[in-house]
Amino acid sequence: MIDLHTHTNASDGTTPPSDLIEQALTAGLEAIAITDHDTFAGYDEALPIAAGAGLDLVCGLELSTKYNKRSIHLLGYFPVQPPTAEFRDWLRFNQESRRDRNRRLAQRLQSLGLDVKLEEVERLGRTLAGRPHFAQLLVQKGYVSSYQEAFDEYLDEAAKGYVDRDEAQLGDAIERVAAAGGIPTIAHPIRVTRDATTLRALLTEIKSRGLAGIEVFHSDHTPEDSAEYAILAREFGLLPTGGSDFHGDRKPSVRLGTGVNGNLNVPKAVLDRLRNQ
């Protein structure tokens, strides 16, 4: 069993990289990929620990991208060679734009009467403070009663506190990942659309930009969904990938390696194919 979609506390997970490696070993996983949002910081920290413990750790990340004004997540895998220095520079640039958004978001929430300071959010989110940390703070301060309510009331794209961020376009992000030596992979397609025709049209378009993989297995996918995505993978010549989307205590129902109530079991052959393509 392997898990190619995990988050550490370097992005919006709650598990420190070293703990994640330990948990993966305890769970008997053969390999994991760390796919933090927009950063390799968690992977970099975990790599020597994984090497020492004999766990196969794959370098990855998850990028939030824009496509026709919608947000689509793109996974990038670097299973053979590390990402280029140019790509890491580009990530730093993106982090600056996120920080700028956070500054404006804090102002916006203040104008709505909420006492939320950028420094408080950054203390929670460290290198990659984002909306999940705003949500956490709103809960802590008692402005909302749950994490989800924070999004519904204030932080969701359709909510009153939302401010826009300068995100990469999906096609450009695919090209960046490919140029950096990575495998651009569409994340959790179930969250993109439930309409098969729309998904096919999207895959046709972005395959031409260099899309190379599709996340067939995911905690949000039913067995039927995964079967359908496996067929699409074959049809479009995309590499199948899969993982739990583990976020630690932030999403406690999602377990490392096994997903929600054991609905995940990603075969090791998936990783072998990523390495041998």
Q: Which of 60, 64, 245, 254 binds Zn ion (CB under 5 A)?
A: 245
Contacts by 46-50 with C-beta closer than 8 Å and gap 24+? 46/8, 46/17, 46/18, 46/20, 46/21, 49/17, 49/18, 49/21, 50/21
- 151 binds ligand AMP per the rule CB under 6 A: yes
SS3 at position 12: coil
Q: Which stretch binds Fe ion (CB under 5 A): 22-30, 67-75, 78-86, 107-115?
A: 67-75
Q: Which of 3, 9, 10, 12 binds Fe ion (CB under 5 A)?
A: 12
CA 180 from centroid of its chain's CA atoms? 18
Nearer Cβ to ligand AMP, position 140 or 148?
A: 148
Q: Which does 65 bind (CB under 5 to 8 A by kind): ligand AMP, Fe ion, Zn ion, none?
A: none
Q: Where are the alpha helices (DSSP H) in 180-245?
A: 196-207, 223-236
Q: How far is CA 146 from CA 47, 67, 110, in A?
A: 34, 29, 19
Amino acid letter, 170: L
Q: Which two tokens stand for residue 242?
A: 């899969």
Contact characters 24-53, ligand AMP, x per CB under 6 A: -------------x----------------
How far apart are the C-alpha atoms of 105 and 117, rounded to whole Å? 10
- 5 binds ligand AMP per the rule CB under 6 A: no
Q: Which of 24, 31, 74, 131 binds ligand AMP (CB under 6 A)?
A: 131
Q: Which does 43 bind (CB under 5 to 8 A by kind): Zn ion, Fe ion, ligand AMP, none?
A: none
Contact characters 176-215, Fe ion, x per CB under 5 A: -----------x----------------------------
CA 33 from centroid of its chain's CA atoms? 11
β-pairing, 168-169 vs 70-78, is unpaired
- 12 binds ligand AMP per the rule CB under 6 A: yes
- 3 binds Fe ion per the rule CB under 5 A: no
Q: Which two tokens stand for residue 10?
A: 């370097």
How far apart are the C-alpha atoms of 99 and 96, rounded to whole Å? 5
Contact characters 112-151, Fe ion, x per CB under 5 A: ----------------------------------------
Nearest to 245 by CA among 262, 230, 257, 227: 257
Q: Which stretch binds ligand AMP (CB under 6 A): 23-31, 107-115, 127-135, 255-263?
A: 127-135
How far apart are the C-alpha atoms of 235 and 252, rounded to whole Å? 35
Contacting positions for Fe ion (CB under 5 A): 12, 73, 187
Contacting positions for ligand AMP (CB under 6 A): 12, 37, 64, 130-132, 148, 151, 156
